[in-house]
Amino acid sequence: MTKDTSPIPLYGLSLEEGQNINVGPYAWKTEVDLSTLGVPYELKGKTFAQIRGEFEKETGNPKVSVPTLKTEDGWITDSWTIAEYKYGTPERSLFAGGEALNRFINTWVDKDLFGALVPLFAPWLYQAQNAESSAWFLKQKLGGDKSKIDALIAASKDDAWVDQTAAAARGTLGTLEKHLAALKAAGKGPFIAGTDYPTHADSDVFGWYGASAAVRPYDLLAKVWHHEDLPLVSEWAKKVVEVSGVNAPKYPY
C-alpha cells in the first residue's frame, strides 16, 4: 500500500461541469477498491462532453474514459487496470478468489447486469445531463437513433413498465443471491470471493448499485437491490459500504 497520504484525483462521470460527483457505475468500482485498501482519493467529475474534449487533451489519451486516476506514475484508466495497480498486498489482494472468478464476475456484470439495468438507467441519464453530453450520448451509445431513447423515456414514465423491468433486474441479481446463499451455507463470506473484505468482484457489482442510487424519479435501490426478493444482496450491499468505508451513494438533487 502506498505511504503517501495525499488524496489521489479520481475522475468520474458528472452531469454538469464543475460538479464533483460520480453517477456512472465504473468509477464507483474504483471508489470501493480504493476505500477497501485505505487509499485516499478526491473525486472529480467530468461530463461526457468534457471527457471527449478537454480531458482527452489533458491526459493525452484519445480513448480516455472514467474512471481515470492521476498517480505519481501517470494517468491510469479503467477500473480493472486501476485495481491491478500497486496499492494491494498479497494479504489484502483485490483479486482474492483468483482471476477466473473475477473475470467471470466482470463478464456477468458487463453483459447481464448491464443489460438488465440500462433500460432503467439510460433514460434518466440522457435527460439529467447537459445538452452537449446528451448529444454525445445519443450519437456514441445509440448510433444517433433518437427514437430509441425517446421510446425508453416514454416507457420510463409508465409505472407498470418500471416495475416489470425492475423485476427482471432482480431476476438477474438472483444469480448473485444464490451465490451468496451458497457461501453463507459454507460459512464463508460475506463477500463474493468468500472473503471478509470486498474484492474487485464486489466492487464490480457494486458499481451498478452506486449508479442505481443516482436515478430519479423511481427508487432503484428499493425496487431492485433492497427488495424483499433479494435479502442477501441487500445485506451484501450494506456490508460493502460498512467494511470498505466507501461513502454511501448520495446525490445532491
Task: State yes or no: pLDDT of 242 exceeds 50.
Answer: yes
The pLDDT value given to residue 4: 57
List the grid coordinates of 162.
Answer: 418500471
d(CA 49, CA 248): 27
Please write the tens of the pLDDT for every residue from 34-72. Answer: 999 999 999 999 999 999 999 999 999 999 999 999 999
Task: State yes or no: pLDDT of 3 exceeds 70.
Answer: no
User: Residue 10: which H helix or E strand, with range?
Assistant: strand 8-13
Please write the tens of the pLDDT for every residue from 180-236. Answer: 999 999 999 999 999 999 999 999 999 999 999 999 999 999 999 999 999 999 999
List the grid coordinates of 63.
Answer: 480513448
The pLDDT value given to residue 205: 99
Task: State yes or no: pLDDT of 252 exceeds 90.
Answer: no
Q: Residue written as cell 482471476?
A: 99
The pLDDT value given to residue 2: 43
Secondary structure (3-state) at 186 = coil
Task: State yes or no: pLDDT of 88 exceeds 90.
Answer: no
Residues 82-107, mean pLDDT to the nearest whole number: 89
Q: What is 8-83's CATH superfamily?
A: Glutaredoxin (3.40.30.10)
The pLDDT value given to residue 90: 75
Sequence-ordered list of residues with C-beta below 8 angstroms from that of 28, at least 6 positions apart, any chain: 12, 22, 203, 206, 207, 208, 209, 210, 211, 249
Q: Is residue 121 within 8 Å of residue 115, measured between CB atoms?
A: no
Q: Is residue 22 within 8 Å of residue 43, measured between CB atoms?
A: yes
Please write the tens of the pLDDT for every residue from 129-143. Answer: 999 999 999 998 888
Q: How confident is the model at residue 1 (pLDDT cuts 50, 70, 90)?
A: very low
Q: Residue written as cell 470486498?
A: 198
Kindly list the domain boundaries of the chain, sorted by start residue.
8-83, 99-244
